[in-house]
Amino acid sequence: MDDQNRRNGYDDFFREGDSERRSEEGDPKAQRGYEQEREQHEQEQHERERHEQEGPQANASERPSHYYTYGPFKTGGGAQGAGTDAYPRAASSERLTRQEDVQITPPAQERGFAPVGKSQPRQSAGWQVREKSRTSFKAIAISFLAGVLLVGGLMAAADYQNWFTSAGPLAQETETASAVTAGGNSSDASTSLANVVMDRPDNIANIFEASSPAVVKIETFTRSGTGASGSDSMDFFRQFFGDEYTTPTPNGNGSGQGELTPLGLGSGFIFEDTGYILTNQHVIGDAERIEVTVQDYAKTFEAKLLGSSYELDLAVLKIEGDEPFPTLPLGDSDSIEIGDWVVAIGNPHGFDHTVTVGVLSAKERPISIPDEQGTRNYEHLLQTDASINPGNSGGPLINTSGEVIGINTAVSSQAQGIGFAIPTSTIKSVLDSLKNNEDIPIPFIGATLLDMNEQYAEQLGIENAEGALVEGVLYNSPAYQGDLRQFDVIVGLNGEGHATASELVEAIKTQKVGDTVTLNVVRGGRELELEVVIGDRNDFASALQR
């Protein structure tokens, strides 16, 4: 009877719990939990009855111990009491029948930890791993600009306020530039920034202002009926600048006979204040009248030709005036280096006093230009990329110190930026002769020379491929009279070896007309020494004309 009552009590307890929880609709998982609990209580009740029937002799260690998973109720074996439960049955029945003391709830599901990402929705509650916020591009740009302004401001302040040095770079540069301008000597002048700036053409305006008054325009005239007198000069002029310039011709009806006709236009510069002018020979040619225009002078001056050299393409003119003329000094062309800045001033195409700027492109350039009078063989020319045009011929090529280092003479008509100037090293050696209208002696021996090479040496049976091969000998020239022959190889002059023909020619030009020299020659495998008297090319040309 007691067992039946206890069972009914448990049934009533679970029925009351079920009746209250049926109102919680939509929770089938909780409903299954209630059924499991009920079955577990019934199983435990049967287990207690079985132990009571077996008696106190039953081994306490064989009784299983159970823990409720939903509350503080625990069944025990003999460890809690002699064959009794840890909690009396009456107390257990009383506690189980009181709903206000115990509420049966299913075990809560454990929550896992997972980052919130694109593949998993964010949780509204519980633990979450928040995604790191990203910095916007606007914030990065603002930070960068702020850093630039800060660093730039600090650099400028350090430079101008001399935070790290006792004398800032700007002050040092200014002091060095002032010392150089005043002519002071400084051991660091060659490497200072001030010198580098001074070597640049930033003083072109000053150079032009100081040099331009001494640069003159030269116009030549010839008689209408004697156009042939200037034709050679004009043909030669076309060799430099193409076919733009033509020889003037008389009027078709012949009414212009005897009148002066413009022949050519060029430039020059005054090198002595008494009126001495230096220009190219091809500018004046065979002109019958030469007129010179000087800046700041209202009238033109008729110039007199003092002396000229066809071979060197140089001429000196003289004008007369009441006051000293402005002049340009002659500098040293050997001191200028390739890459140095140069300034050209002249009258290209009649545009008075035009200035162009460039650099020295090369030195020691040889060119040859033939015309009806012969062939002009230029040597040691300065090459520049300063613009040179028709009308620039005879004008000065000036360095950054305001000194003339050359006379603008020629330009390649098939190229751009290739102009040539006669160096002052050549001009100075003959300037006095030109002023005094004296013939300029040109030392020569009268032989045409070629550079030796391996092919010539093999054909002549010579082991050494150095020296000058004699291509030809002029009749009755100094070389002819000294028994120099075609296919001889000149290897030296006065015992000093010369590997090329150009070296030998330069050595001959250093000799004086009338000097006797010894040519070291190889002929047919034999070494010979020939004595030759240095002659004057001008005299030899005059003799041929007679």
Asked if residue 376 lies in contact with residue 311, where contact means CB atoms within 8 angstroms, the answer is yes
Instruction: Name the pLDDT band for 375 (thresholds 50, 70, 90).
Output: confident
Measure the CA–CA gap between 432 and 413, rounded to whole angstroms. 33
| pLDDT band, residue 48 (cuts 50/70/90) | confident
Instruction: State residue 270's pLDDT score.
Output: 96
On whether the CB atoms of residues 395 and 349 are closer than 8 A, the answer is no
Half-sphere exposure of 516 (CA within 13 A, CB side): 5
pLDDT per residue as tens digits for the range 331-340: 999 999 999 9
411: Cα within 13 Å, side-chain hemisphere: 22
Pairing status of strand 304-309 against strand 301-302: unpaired
Inform me whether the pLDDT recorded for 456 exceeds 60. yes
Q: Which residue has the higher pLDDT, 486 or 110?
A: 486
Q: How confident is the model at residue 43 (pLDDT cuts 50, 70, 90)?
A: confident
Contacts of 189 (CB under 8 A, 6+ apart): 176, 179, 180, 195
Could you tell me the residue ranges of all domains in the chain?
Answer: 2-96, 191-440, 443-545
Q: Is 214 exposed, middle or buried (0-12, 13-18, 19+ CB in 10 A)?
A: buried
pLDDT in tens, 390-399: 889 999 999 9
Tokens 């236009």 -> residue: 265
* pLDDT per position as a tens digit, 302-341: 999 999 988 889 999 999 999 999 999 999 999 999 999 9
Distance, CA of 193 to CA of 176 (rounded, Å): 9
- The answer, yes or no, to whether residue 46 has pLDDT greater than 50, is yes
The pLDDT of residue 112 is: 47
Phi, psi dihedral angles at 282 (to 5 degrees)? -70, -15
Lowest mean pLDDT among 79-83, 243-247, 397-401, 491-495: 79-83
Q: What is the pLDDT of residues 52-68, one digit of tens each?
A: 665 554 444 444 444 43
Proportion of the chain above pLDDT 70, given as a percent: 64
E strand segments, 150-303: 215-223, 260-272, 276-279, 289-294, 301-302
**Strand, helix or coil for residue 42:** helix
Query: CA-CA distance, 390 to 236, in Å (whole number)?
Result: 12
Q: What percent of the chain shows pLDDT beyond 90?
A: 36
Q: Sort 230 into a burial class: Cβ within 10 Å, 0-12 / 13-18 / 19+.
A: buried
What confidence score (pLDDT) does residue 133 get? 57
The tens digit of pLDDT for each residue in 113-155 reads 444 444 444 444 444 545 555 667 788 888 888 988 888 888 8
pLDDT of residue 269: 97
Q: For position 417, what pLDDT does the model report?
A: 81
Q: Which residues carry out catalysis?
A: 282, 313, 393
Residue 405 pLDDT exceeds 80: yes
Strands (E), 63-194: 66-67, 74-75
Distance CA 365, CA 385 (A): 14
Positive or negative torsion for Cα 336, 340, 343, 344: positive
pLDDT tens figures, 208-243: 999 999 999 999 998 865 544 343 444 444 444 444
Write down the pLDDT at residue 361.
94
What is the rounded CA–CA span in Å between residue 470 and residue 483?
Answer: 12
pLDDT surpasses 60 at 183: no
Q: Which helix (H) or strand (E) holds 1?
A: none
**Per-residue pLDDT, 357:** 93
Q: What is d(CA 345, CA 408) in angstroms, rounded to the nearest whole number?
A: 9
Cα(490)–Cα(528) distance, rounded to whole angstroms? 9
- The more confidently predicted of residues 343 and 162 is 343
**What strand order describes the sheet that includes 215-223?**
301-302, 289-294, 215-223, 260-272, 276-279, 314-318, 304-309
SS3 annotation, 182-200: CCCCCCCCCCCHHHHHHHC
Contact 484, 471 (CB under 8 A): no
**pLDDT on residue 356:** 93
**CA dihedral for 539, 514, 313, 243, sign (positive or negative):** positive
The residue that leads in pLDDT, 22 or 151, is 151
The reported pLDDT for the residue numbered 134 is 62
What are phi and psi for residue 173, nearest 5 degrees?
-65, -40
Q: What is the pLDDT of residue 12?
A: 52
Which CATH code for domain 443-545?
2.30.42.10
Contact 405/213 with Cβ under 8 angstroms? no
Q: What is the average pLDDT across 442-461?
A: 90
- The pLDDT mean for the chain works out to 74
Instruction: Give pLDDT, residue 441.
Output: 83
Give the number of other CB atoms < 10 A from CB of residue 36. 13
Whether pLDDT at 406 is above 70: yes
3.40.190.10, 3.30.1600.10, 1.10.3720.10, 2.40.10.120: CATH of 191-440: 2.40.10.120
Please, are residues 13 and 6 in contact by the beta-carbon 8 Å criterion? Answer: no
Q: Is the pLDDT of residue 102 over 80?
A: no
> Rounded CA gap, 329 and 345, in Å?
14
489, 460 in Cβ contact below 8 A?
yes
Q: What is the pLDDT of residues 376-391, one digit of tens each?
A: 888 889 999 998 888 8
